[in-house]
């Protein structure tokens, strides 16, 4: 069963019990109402027969007094009583229509009633006129015949009373049965609810806990628990999680293999490539110096080309190894209190010749602000940004370096006059080997400089980014946290620096 079917079962089974329970209660209630009606009719029938017997006794008493006194008043009372008896019997017959079980007894009762009435009317006729021994004998004989009839009346009456008691007992038994059914139904309903809850708990909640634990194990890279049994959504999800776990395990193995390959590659760069290249580069420099004798101009040009090519390759290898060290967190900062102006001026001096070759102007307004940084690392960032600006700016273009101080940060901005960077490339340029699209195919780089800058700035708890320049081109910026105490101290120390020799338009 899937979870939906289990949920429906959890609702439907108690609902079916409730429906059955309600149907049973309605059936019992209908039986009680029927018994109650029968008891009511039995009581009405008994009351009616009691009234008829009482009327007969009243009529017999008045007839006896009439015989003894001859008073006409008793004759009238006798007549009135006898007129009531047919109505009592008719009422009893009407009641038996609702309680057919008493119909036969009422029929017998009417027969006895007719017989008793006939005898009483006969006695009344005999009592008219002077009383003679013959009349007295005849009256006595008729009274003797009335005695069994009255006894039969009493027997019928007792039978009716027993039926009334039996109906009342059945009604009471039905009420007790309803009470028992109610208690049993509630108990059964509670039992079914608890059983279903336990079934759902064992079948669903326990398995969900296994899923949650497996999710944690995947995050912690621990072995998963055995697969959950079943054919519902939980088991399917668990199967997916096991597939994910296996895929992650395989990915981890592949990652370990790749890491091993990377380590081998880095070792190869360090020992098998950088060392021989450095040796070759040193040999070329030595030959160029003339130690080995005079070099022909054509050979010197070839050596210059080889020197530049080797320098590029060595720079690429060194940048690659530096990037690895930064990503591994193995780079250590040597922070000192210094002036940002000193760092920027030093970086400008490094790239000045490169800018001069393209007749570009480096514009910088000196600003004496103290910072607590690793000067070499920050200078490397500034040099990289200036080198990129020079590379992408046109000949005779201007490159501006600005410093902006806020309450918490010092921002350094390098604005070039290049073609700018598309919005989709503004974040990507800080990824390794990523480069912004350029119309100039000759402008290429290693794709490692900006990622190294990003890691170096982040080491200083700063941020780095790029935006469009107000007059075109791009503005690369980075922020460094500014401690007021350190900044004040650096400003005092930097007041002794000789920055007056640096003109406002440095390098122009």
pLDDT digits (tens, 9 = 90+) for 270-285: 666 667 777 777 777 7
Instruction: Name 247's Cβ contacts closer than 8 Å, sequence gap at least 6.
Output: none
The topology (CATH level 3) of 3-197 is: 1.20.120
Residue predicted with more confidence, 50 or 328: 50
Residue 460: pLDDT over 80 = yes
How many angstroms separate the CA atoms of 403 and 380, rounded? Answer: 17
Residue 245: pLDDT over 70 = yes
Mean pLDDT across the stretch 349-353? 92
Residues of the chain with pLDDT > 90, as a percent, come to 13
What's the pLDDT score for residue 502? Answer: 37
What's the pLDDT score for residue 463? Answer: 92
What's the pLDDT score for residue 115? Answer: 78
Domain ranges of the chain: 3-197, 241-325, 332-494
- Can you give 297-344 as a three-state secondary structure string? HHHHHHHHHHHHHHHHHHHHHHHHHHHHHHHCCCCCCCCEEEEHHHHH
Question: Under DSSP, is residue 279 helix (H, G, I), strand (E, B) or coil?
Answer: helix
Give the range among 179-188, 290-299, 447-456 with minimum mean pLDDT: 290-299
Residues of the chain with pLDDT > 70, as a percent, come to 83
Residue 507: pLDDT over 60 = no
Q: What is the pLDDT of residues 153-179, one digit of tens each?
A: 677 777 777 777 777 787 788 778 778
Mean pLDDT across the stretch 204-223? 79
Q: How confident is the model at residue 493 (pLDDT cuts 50, 70, 90)?
A: very low
Mean pLDDT across the stretch 325-345? 83
Residue 435: pLDDT over 80 = no
Instruction: Give the full edge-to-edge strand order of the sheet including 361-364.
Output: 361-364, 398-405, 409-415, 474-481, 463-468
What's the pLDDT score for residue 483? Answer: 61
Q: How confident is the model at residue 466 (pLDDT cuts 50, 70, 90)?
A: very high
Mean pLDDT across the stretch 45-70? 80
Query: Measuring CA to CA, which residue among 48, 41, 45, 53 is closest to residue 152?
Result: 53
Residue 438: pLDDT over 60 = no
Mean pLDDT across the stretch 249-274? 73
Mean pLDDT across the stretch 397-426? 89
What's the pLDDT score for residue 355? Answer: 92
Residue 234: pLDDT over 80 = no
State the number of CA atoms in the 13 A half-sphere of 72 facing the CB: 1
Q: How confident is the model at residue 433 (pLDDT cuts 50, 70, 90)?
A: low
Mean pLDDT across the stretch 484-506? 42
Mean pLDDT across the stretch 359-377? 89
Instruction: Name 451's Cβ contacts closer than 8 Å, sequence gap at least 6.
Output: 323, 430, 431, 432
> What rounded mean pLDDT belongs to the chain?
77
Residue 266: pLDDT over 60 = yes
For residue 51, the surrounding DSSP H or E stretch is: helix 3-69
Residue 484: pLDDT over 60 = no
Highest mean pLDDT range out of 34-38, 141-145, 395-399? Answer: 395-399
Q: Is 341 in contact with 368 (CB distance < 8 Å)?
A: yes
Instruction: Give the number of other CB atoms < 10 A from CB of residue 97.
Output: 10
What's the pLDDT score for residue 348? Answer: 94
What's the pLDDT score for residue 267? Answer: 66
Residue 290: pLDDT over 90 = no
Q: How confident is the model at residue 386 (pLDDT cuts 50, 70, 90)?
A: very high
Mean pLDDT across the stretch 475-503? 57
Residue 347: pLDDT over 80 = yes
What's the pLDDT score for residue 331? Answer: 73
Q: How confident is the model at residue 495 (pLDDT cuts 50, 70, 90)?
A: very low
Q: Is 455 in contact with 326 (CB distance < 8 Å)?
A: yes
Mean pLDDT across the stretch 191-211? 75
What's the pLDDT score for residue 490? Answer: 46
Q: Which CATH class is domain 332-494?
A: alpha beta
């Amino acid at each position: 069963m899937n979870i939906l079917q289990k949920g429906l079962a959890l609702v439907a089974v108690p609902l079916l019990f409730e429906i059955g329970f309600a149907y049973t209660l309605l059936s019992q209630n209908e039986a009680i109402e029927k018994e109650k009606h029968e008891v009511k009719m039995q009581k009405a029938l008994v009351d009616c027969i009691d009234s008829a017997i009482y009327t007969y006794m009243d009529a017999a008493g008045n007839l006896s007094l009439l015989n003894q006194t001859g008073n006409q008043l008793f004759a009238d009372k006798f007549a009135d009583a006898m007129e009531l008896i047919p109505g009592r019997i008719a009422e009893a017959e009407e009641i038996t229509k609702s309680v057919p079980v008493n119909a036969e007894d009422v029929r017998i009762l009417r027969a006895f009633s007719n017989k008793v009435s006939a005898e009483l009317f006969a006695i009344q006729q005999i009592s008219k006129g002077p009383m003679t021994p013959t009349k007295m004998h005849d009256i006595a004989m008729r009274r003797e015949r009335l005695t069994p009839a009255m006894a039969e009346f009493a027997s019928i009456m007792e039978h009716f009373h027993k039926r009334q008691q039996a109906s009342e007992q059945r009604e009471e038994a039905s009420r007790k049965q309803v009470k028992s059914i109610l208690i049993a139904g509630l108990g059964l309903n509670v039992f079914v609810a608890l059983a279903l809850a336990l079934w759902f708990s064992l079948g669903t909640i326990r398995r969900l806990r296994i899923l949650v634990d497996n999710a944690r194990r995947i995050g912690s890279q621990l072995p998963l628990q055995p697969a959950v049994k079943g054919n519902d959504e939980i088991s399917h999800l668990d199967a997916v999680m096991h597939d994910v776990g296996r895929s992650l395990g395989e990915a981890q193995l592949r990652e370990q293999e790749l890491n091993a390959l990377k380590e081998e590659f880095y070792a190869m760069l360090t020992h098998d490539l950088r060392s021989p290249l450095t040796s070759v580069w040193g040999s070329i420099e030595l030959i160029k110096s003339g130690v080995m004798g005079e070099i022909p101009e054509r050979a010197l040009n070839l050596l210059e080309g080889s020197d530049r090519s080797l320098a590029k390759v060595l720079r690429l290898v060194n940048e690659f190894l530096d990037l690895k060290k930064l990503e591994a967190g193995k780079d250590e900062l040597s922070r000192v209190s210094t002036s940002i102006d000193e760092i920027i001026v030093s970086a400008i001096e490094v790239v000045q010749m490169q800018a001069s070759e393209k007749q570009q102007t480096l514009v910088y307004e000196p600003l004496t602000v103290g910072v607590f940084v690793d000067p070499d690392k920050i200078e490397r960032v500034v040099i990289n940004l200036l080198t990129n600006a020079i590379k992408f700016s046109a000949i005779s273009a201007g490159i501006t370096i600005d410093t902006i101080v806020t309450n918490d940060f010092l921002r350094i901005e390098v604005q070039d006059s290049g073609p700018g960077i598309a919005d989709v490339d503004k974040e990507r340029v800080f990824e390794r080997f990523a480069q912004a699209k350029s119309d100039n195919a000759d402008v290429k780089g290693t794709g490692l400089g900006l990622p190294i800058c990003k890691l170096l700035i982040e080491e200083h708890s700063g941020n780095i980014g790029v935006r469009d320049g107000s007059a075109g081109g791009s503005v690369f910026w980075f922020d460094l946290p500014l401690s007021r105490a350190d900044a004040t101290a650096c400003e005092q120390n930097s007041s002794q620096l000789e920055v007056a020799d640096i003109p406002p338009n440095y390098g122009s």
